[in-house]
Amino acid sequence: MTNLLLAVIYLAFISLGLPDSLLGAAWPSMGPQLHVPLSWAGGVSMTISAGTIVSSLLSDRLTLRIGAGKLTAISVGVTALALFGFSLAPNYWILLLIAVPYGLGAGGVDAALNNYVAVHYASRHMSWLHCMWGIGASVGPYIMGFALSKQHSWELGYRIIAVLQILLTVILVFSLPLWKSRKDEASKGASTSGGGAVVDGSGGHAAQEERSKRKPLTLRQVFALRGAVEIMVMFFCYCAVESTAGLWASSYMVLHSHIDKTLAASLASLFYLGITGGRALSGFMTMRFDDSTMIRIGQIVLACGVVLLLLPIPGKAAVITGLVLVGLGCAPIYPCVIHSTPAYFGADKSQAIVGVQMACAYTGSMLMPPVFGLIADHISIAWYPVFLGVLLVVMAVMHERLRRVVKH
């Protein structure tokens, strides 16, 4: 039963990744059809991000009320309806309106599942979980490409993903008894082994009693916890690095390294392949190294990539290798930070912490790439590795400070 539930959770994260790259793949066709400028894609993206921030902040309260299993099923269902709504939107403003529930659904899934796996499963599963997201994010553009070929439209691409999300919602609804069974197993495991699994409240009488014992934490209470500020800043910086590196990789190769535009667009995908492959590898490495060591390894590899981008080495090899190393370095950091959260703050507080972490993550992803865009526009895109390096330094300092403050 445990393995079956884990398979469902993996499937949910593949599904979470599927729509994440659709907007970028579809916008060259969507924009002209909706009669809006190319830059207006940013409005849709920021609206989705705002929705995810709100639902992430509410995840603790919602999980206590209805449980992780039900919250995941409802959130995926809302996302599915929003994706189908995208395919029917007659104009940009309706699209913007539908982006709100899209973001709310995506944030609910992200926060609930991340905390659930952090509390109930080993670190390797967290790494592989985010590897599944990478697979979904990689497959999404191919589905949209199929929809755009042979006289089809971008609407079909969104409908295909919506149907897949609806199927997943049905699977999640039928899997709800598995979440209850997992709670029973977790309770027994906690009582006999003294840790590793706790009841997080996804259903059943015992789970309801557990939820009733604890009140949702407010933002003030979350940030009052020792180490909370450090882990939030760390998460903000990490997601700022990942999103900035991914968004501006192609432009950096073209404008700074003078690589052909078409070739640069293809090579930029190596960054994401580095993250996806790195997370698959990280899952095995976590069997030997703890979360803090994995985070440090990731930061060291990331630093090597940044240094390689900084060195004035002619040719494409150094830039390509640098980007791959940045991706590989990013790979273990996100999942290992989340997985270590219950150990730092306690499983009873982890949902609240993870929810705020997700909000910080989306804020970093939403704000920092445009900030670097201003730097590239008004100063030089050559500052790309410097920008990544500064964020990395802040992240590393916050990680070491977190370990010292919480004494973990």
- Do 280 and 371 share a domain, yes or no? yes
- Do 198 and 240 share a domain, yes or no? no
More confident residue, 89 or 63: 89
Mean pLDDT of the chain: 83
Per-residue pLDDT of 25-50, as tens digits, reads 787 788 888 888 866 877 888 888 88
pLDDT band (50, 70, 90) for residue 262? low
Mean pLDDT of the 335-354 span:
87
Q: Which two tokens stand for residue 388?
A: 């990544």
Give dist(CA 254, CA 249) in Å, integer: 9
pLDDT band (50, 70, 90) for residue 181? low
> Position of tokens 């791959």?
324
CATH number of residue 288's parent domain: 1.20.1250.20
- Do 82 and 34 share a domain, yes or no? yes
Per-residue pLDDT of 295-317, as tens digits, reads 999 999 999 999 999 988 777 88
Per-residue pLDDT of 204-250, as tens digits, reads 444 444 544 567 788 888 888 999 999 999 999 999 998 888 878 87
Q: Give the pLDDT confidence score for residue 150 in this predicted structure.
A: 62
Give dist(CA 399, CA 230) in Å, integer: 7
Q: Does position 203 have pLDDT exceeding 90, yes or no? A: no
Report CA Rg, the chain. 21
- Do 100 and 176 share a domain, yes or no? yes
Q: Give the pLDDT confidence score for residue 408 in this predicted structure.
A: 54
Domain coverage including residue 379: 219-406
- Do 35 and 170 share a domain, yes or no? yes
Q: Does position 154 have pLDDT exceeding 80, yes or no? A: yes
- Do 148 and 170 share a domain, yes or no? yes
- Do 233 and 349 share a domain, yes or no? yes
Instruction: Give the domain-ending residue among 212, 244, 264.
Output: 212
- Do 203 and 231 share a domain, yes or no? no
Q: Give the pLDDT confidence score for residue 197 in this predicted structure.
A: 40
Instruction: Give the domain-ending residue among 147, 181, 212.
Output: 212
Q: Among the listed ranges 54-58, 178-182, 206-210, which one has the minimum average pLDDT value? A: 206-210
State pTM to two decimals: 0.76
- Do 165 and 227 share a domain, yes or no? no
DSSP line for 269-284: HHHHHHHHHHHHHHHH
- Do 192 and 110 share a domain, yes or no? yes
Q: Which residues of 191-225 are buried (b: 16+ CB within 10 A; e: fewer)?
A: eeeeeebbbbbbbbeebeebbeeeebbeeeebeeb
Q: Give the pLDDT confidence score for residue 61 in this predicted structure.
A: 82
Q: Give the pLDDT confidence score for residue 196 in this predicted structure.
A: 40
pLDDT band (50, 70, 90) for residue 135? confident
Structurally, the chain folds into a number of domains equal to 2
> Position of tokens 């897949």?
164
Of 2-11, 91-100, 190-199, the range with the highest mean pLDDT is: 91-100
Contact status, residue 183 vs residue 202, Cβ threshold 8 Å: yes
- Do 206 and 276 share a domain, yes or no? no
Q: Give the pLDDT confidence score for residue 102 in this predicted structure.
A: 92
Mean pLDDT of the 333-358 span:
87
Name every residue whose Cβ is closer than 8 Å to that of residue 274 and which is 6 or more positions away in sequence.
323, 324, 325, 326, 327, 328, 330, 331
Instruction: Give the domain-ending residue among 158, 190, 212.
Output: 212
The helix or strand, by DSSP H or E, that contains position 224, with its residue range, turns out to be helix 219-224
Q: Which two tokens stand for residue 23?
A: 């907007």
Q: Give the pLDDT confidence score for residue 266 in this predicted structure.
A: 66
Mean pLDDT of the 245-273 span:
78
Q: What is the 3-state secondary structure (H, E, C) of 130-166?
A: HHHHHHHHHHHHHHHHHHHCCCCCHHHHHHHHHHHHH
- Do 200 and 167 share a domain, yes or no? yes
Give dist(CA 111, CA 361) in Å, integer: 11
Q: Give the pLDDT confidence score for residue 248 in this predicted structure.
A: 83
pLDDT band (50, 70, 90) for residue 194? very low
Considering the chain, what percentage of its residues have pLDDT values greater than 90?
29
Q: What is the 3-state secondary structure (H, E, C) of 338-362?
A: HHHHHHHHCHHHHHHHHHHHHHHHH
